Amino acid sequence: MVAAMHWFAKQPYNIPTPLLSKLAFELVKNFGRVVLGGAGVLTLFALPVLVFFAVSLRTWKRYAVAVAAVLVIAPIHWLKIDKWHANEAYSNAITAPTFERLNAITAQAIHLDAARYGLCVLLTGAIVFGLLCLVLCGFERRQRHPLPQPEAAAISWQKLCVILGPFSAAYLALLALKPALFNRYFLPLLAILILVLARFYQEQVQAKLPLASVSLIVLFGAFSIAATHDNFALYRGYASAIDELRASGIPATAILGPWEYGGWTEVEKARYFNDSRIRVPKGAYVPQPAWVLPANCTQWFFGGLEAMPALHPAYAVSSNP
């Protein structure tokens, strides 16, 4: 691996990413962002296991936990903690684009902003409820004997810590060194978290998860399929609009499409992205003037135009009707 990375560092137009390029304060700050953001993503997708710890509680305790969860939700949204917590996953990355497209389809007839906000509140409440139930179940651990389990199926907590602990700690440390975070980075930790939660559930509640947990898994899967379908449809729409312009004789460099299209055009014309981090060959990066666009023409992929100097757009593709 070291040899491969050394070879890659010598290749033209590669973009190096040094691990220790941040100050100590920035590392601590980024680690806090990793922990909070990761906690939101992981607890959200672990809901099919997490919320069913309520099965081990008495009825009056469940009501008390539900009331406590409602009281916790208010400061979470007031302090915008959900930006780093569960909202990081289910609002920004998953539901927001889908609800925006549904709003575009229904035009002025139906406004789904309230539904989107309600979904955020509902999932935040479910996460808080599940975490509180998990904590109460842990407190009651000493008061009840662990459920008997077959010897072949028993995995001690010591073994789990030895097998999974070093990897988890190293993975979190590497994430803290990343300049940008995406939800997919937490998927390896999600598998570990579900394993640990399921092991604890078997020990404290019952040997098998309730069948109701399957309904949550189906719900998550169905929504993910729908949101992924929306993304495919969106990019097909981009491609159709660009093909229509190209068919009328307009060159590819005169069309400002999504990031993927602009990047592909730049690589075909100039062979590489104009990135300031390029070290091989020297002088490959050429500073470009900043783009100034009208407010109603702004899209997220317009921010990288300095990296694509081969483009001289006269037309822009937008997802807004």
- Give the pLDDT score at 106: 52
Return the number of other C-beta atoms located less than 10 Å from residue 3's C-beta: 7
Which is it for strands 255-256 and 315-316: parallel, antiparallel or unpaired?
parallel
Round to whole Å and give the CA distance between 157 and 141. 14
pLDDT of residue 185: 86
Token pair 């570990």: residue: 192
266-304 per-position pLDDT tens digit? 999 999 989 888 989 998 999 988 777 666 665 555 556
Does the pLDDT value for residue 21 go beyond 80?
no
Cross-strand pairs, 315: 255
Kindly calculate the radius of gyration of the chain based on its CA atoms and give it in whole angstroms: 25
pLDDT-derived band at 102 (thresholds 50, 70, 90) equals low
pLDDT-derived band of residue 105, with 50, 70 and 90 as boundaries? low
Average pLDDT over residues 185-197: 91
The band of 97, judged by pLDDT with boundaries at 50, 70 and 90, is: low
pLDDT band for position 93 (50/70/90)?
very low
Which pLDDT band, with edges at 50, 70 and 90, does 98 fall under? low
Percent of the chain topping pLDDT 90: 23
Residues 112-125 have pLDDT tens digits of: 566 666 777 788 88
| pLDDT of residue 82 exceeding 70 | no
Average pLDDT score over the chain? 79
How far, in Å, CA of 257 to CA of 267, rounded? 15
- What gap in Å lies between CA 213 and CA 215, rounded to an integer? 5
**Domain ranges for the chain:** 18-210, 229-316
Evaluate if residue 75 carries a pLDDT over 80: no
Question: For residue range 231-268, what is the model confidence (pLDDT) as tens digits?
Answer: 888 889 999 999 999 999 999 999 988 888 999 999 99
- Which helix (H) or strand (E) segment holds residue 190: the answer is helix 187-204
Query: Do the beta carbons of residue 280 and residue 10 sit within 8 Å?
Result: yes
Which tens digits make up the pLDDT trace of 162-182? 999 999 999 988 888 776 777
Taking residues 102-106, report their average pLDDT: 56
Q: 75-100 as b/e, with b when 16 or more CB fall inside 10 Å?
A: ebeeeebbbbbbbbbbbeebbeebbb
b/e burial code for range 116-134 (CB count within 10 A of at least 16 → b): beebbbebbbbbbbbbbbb
* Token pair belonging to 255: 């069309």
238 neighbors 258 (Cβ within 8 angstroms): yes
pLDDT at position 144 over 70: no
Q: How far apart are CA 16 and CA 173, in angstroms?
A: 19
Region of 299 (left: φ > 0; alpha: ψ -120 to 50; beta: rest) is: beta
For residue 205, pLDDT over 60 is answered with yes
Interior/surface letters 29-52, b for 16+ CB within 10 angstroms, e for the rest:
ebeebbeebbbbbbbbbbbbbbbb
| Residue 6, pLDDT above cutoff 70 | yes
